[in-house]
Amino acid sequence: MDRPIVEFSDIWPETLDVEEAKGKHLPIFLGNDLVVDLARMPHLLVGGADGWGKTNLLNCMICGLARLLSPERLQFVLMDTKLVEFVTYGKFKHLAIPVSHKESECIAAFNWLAGEMERRLKVFAKAGCCRINDYHEQGNELPYIVAVVDEFADLIAKHGKEIEPNIERLANYGRASGIHLVMATGVLDREIVTLNIRRSLKGRIAFKTLGEEQSRLLIDVDDAKSLCERGDMLVRMPDDTLAHCTCGFLSAQEQDKITEQNKIVGNLFLKYNPARIAAKVLAKAVMSNSLVVPFLPEKEGFKSIDDALKHQKQLFKEMTGMQEPCDEQSILGNLRILHKELGKQISEIENDPEEAAAALQGIHADIEAQLDALDNVLENNRQSAKNEK
């Protein structure tokens, strides 16, 4: 006889006003008897064979946390190179940056996360504290960031050298800065689930595996091979205890309902959030095979876009009279100006939506023109280098 389906609503509450959530900053309701605080775990590795519940669990976490916490308290960075599972979150108001679908965008997203972590730690130091909890206790607002990566195997196989250092840095300092990783894969071998990843992601969740070795790779015991129901999972806690529970099933209807309730009204926030523009600049540079560092106001900017960028002088000059970018420092200065102007206009949206919207549209058009020109310049530069060879 088939076991009754455990529904998402049977597991996840609609508010934080429940006993199980008390004292937890990022409560994850894994089962009727198991509620963990992701803020303390502080990172999760999820694995198992296809079709046994991994992605359903990720969607439960995203929708469940979004229902419990406001965007001022929680933001997501979502990565889905399969273009299947996270498409529905395109206009989610809890997004820190747009959903990353291309591999280059995922690399940029990890760079952005590492840069944001460093920025936060500097902010904490100036405030005389070490952790996000201390910062909140001083009366400051700063959202937790949960980065969710579905099926990361291809990313690690192709771009492990670029991504793993950032995963390691986030694992070491992410908890203090309020940035947490949840990474899932159905490919369970040591070339994908590397030693660095296992060391970095101390919390583990195993759905049914296809063999004992895969189970041991995830949770250090053979038991995941014997799981026989969809949604059944074994949770290896950071304190090394092992718990068995059943993940609630999130129907497409319930998921659509929650995403609709948490949808951006209009698309201003999607287009004009400064962090998103910065990530877009970085993603385009990565796609053009240029060596870059994470873009942040405090950083030194792009390392090598070559002399070809000098041809953009006229473009930058047309942007509200900014200085001509004759070198990398002036390019960074122009990006700072855009960054500040975007932030200023976003803050004015509530006071005067129509005027702010008009200003943002103008800024956005300028940035789009700049990015298109950047693509052309980099492509021409790359072709020139190829011809010289």
Domains of the chain (ranges, CATH numbers) = 8-261 (3.40.50.300), 268-388 (no CATH)
Residue 133 is predicted with a pLDDT of 93
Residue 377 is predicted with a pLDDT of 52
Residue 202 is predicted with a pLDDT of 86
Check whether 182 has a pLDDT greater than 70: yes
Residue 307 is predicted with a pLDDT of 34
Closest CA to 261 of 88, 80, 53, 145: 88
Check whether 220 has a pLDDT greater than 90: no
Per the model's pLDDT, the better-predicted residue between 78 and 336 turns out to be 78
Residue 305 is predicted with a pLDDT of 34
Check whether 181 has a pLDDT greater than 90: yes
Per the model's pLDDT, the better-predicted residue between 16 and 297 turns out to be 16
Mean pLDDT, residues 166-192 taken together:
91
Per the model's pLDDT, the better-predicted residue between 84 and 101 turns out to be 101
Where does the pLDDT of residue 179 fall: very low under 50, low under 70, confident under 90, or very high at 90 and above?
very high
Place of tokens 């929650």: 258
Average pLDDT score, the chain: 76
Strands 232-236 and 203-206: antiparallel
What does the radius of gyration of the chain's CA atoms come to, in whole angstroms? Answer: 22
Contacts 24+ apart (CB under 8 A), 7-10: 7/248, 7/249, 7/251, 8/60, 8/63, 8/64, 8/248, 8/249, 8/250, 8/251, 8/254, 9/248, 9/254, 10/248
Residue 265 is predicted with a pLDDT of 57
Residue 308 is predicted with a pLDDT of 30
Mean pLDDT, residues 287-304 taken together:
34
Q: Model pTM?
A: 0.72
pLDDT in tens, 76-98: 999 998 877 898 898 888 988 88
Q: In this predicted structure, which of 78-82, 137-141, 310-314 has the lowest mean pLDDT?
A: 310-314
28 phi and psi angles, rounded to 5 deg: -110, 115
Those residues whose C-beta lies under 8 Å from the C-beta of residue 272, and which sit 6 or more positions away, are 342, 345, 346, 360, 363, 364
Per the model's pLDDT, the better-predicted residue between 267 and 219 turns out to be 219
Mean pLDDT, residues 354-370 taken together:
58
Residue 124 is predicted with a pLDDT of 92
Residue 59 is predicted with a pLDDT of 94
Where does the pLDDT of residue 116 fall: very low under 50, low under 70, confident under 90, or very high at 90 and above?
confident
Task: Answer yes or no: are the C-beta atoms of 7 and 249 closer than 8 Å.
Answer: yes
Residue 360 is predicted with a pLDDT of 60
Which among 60-74, 86-100, 188-202, 267-281 has the top mean pLDDT? Answer: 60-74
Task: Answer yes or no: are the C-beta atoms of 255 and 262 closer than 8 Å.
Answer: no
pLDDT in tens, 229-250: 888 999 988 778 888 888 999 9
Q: What pairs with residue 47 in β-bridges?
A: 185, 206
Helix (H) or strand (E) holding 179: strand 179-185
Concatenated DSSP letters for 185-235? ES--STTTS-HHHHHH--EEEE---SSHHHHHHHHSSSGGGG--STTEEEE
Residue 383 is predicted with a pLDDT of 65
Residue 312 is predicted with a pLDDT of 38
Closest CA to 55 of 180, 150, 146: 150
Helix (H) or strand (E) holding 237: none
Those residues whose C-beta lies under 8 Å from the C-beta of residue 377, and which sit 6 or more positions away, are 305, 308, 309, 311, 312
Q: Where are the alpha helices (DSSP H) in the chain?
A: 8-11, 54-68, 103-126, 132-137, 153-177, 195-200, 212-219, 252-261, 268-272, 274-287, 313-318, 328-347, 353-388
- Other C-beta atoms lying within 10 Å of the C-beta of residue 333: 16
Task: Answer yes or no: are the C-beta atoms of 61 and 43 closer than 8 Å.
Answer: no
Sign of CA dihedral 193, 196, 201, 203: positive
Check whether 301 has a pLDDT greater than 90: no
How far apart are alpha carbons 5 and 2 in whole angstroms? 9
